Amino acid sequence: KATGQAAASNLMWPIIQGIILVLGSLVYMWIAEKFNRRTLLMVGGSVMGLSFILPAVINWAIPNMNPMMIVVFLCIYVAFYSFTWAPLTWVLVGEIFPLAIRGRASGLASSFNWIGSWLVGLIFPIMTASMPQEAVFAIFGVICLLGVIFIKTRVPETRGHTLEEIEEQGTNRK
Residue 3 pLDDT: 53
Q: Give me the percent of the chain exceeding a pLDDT of 70.
A: 93
- pLDDT, residue 50, reads 97
pLDDT of residue 108: 97
Our separate counts of H helices and E strands in the chain read 8, 0
Q: For the chain, which ranges sit under pLDDT 50?
A: none
In this prediction, residue 162 carries a pLDDT of: 87
pLDDT at 76: 95
Query: What pTM, to 2 d.p., does this model score?
Result: 0.86
pLDDT at 4: 55
Q: First and final CA of the chain: distance in angstroms?
A: 48
pLDDT digits (tens, 9 = 90+) for 8-44: 566 788 888 999 999 999 999 999 889 999 999 999 9
Q: Which domains does the chain have, with CATH numbers?
A: 7-173 (1.20.1250.20)
> In terms of C-beta density within 10 A (0-12 exposed, 13-18 middle, 19 or more buried), how is residue 73 classed?
buried
pLDDT value at position 173?
Answer: 64
Q: Which residues, in sequence order, are CB contacts of 59 under 8 Å at separation 6+?
A: 65, 69, 70, 133, 134
As a whole number of angstroms, the distance between CA 51 and CA 168 comes to 36
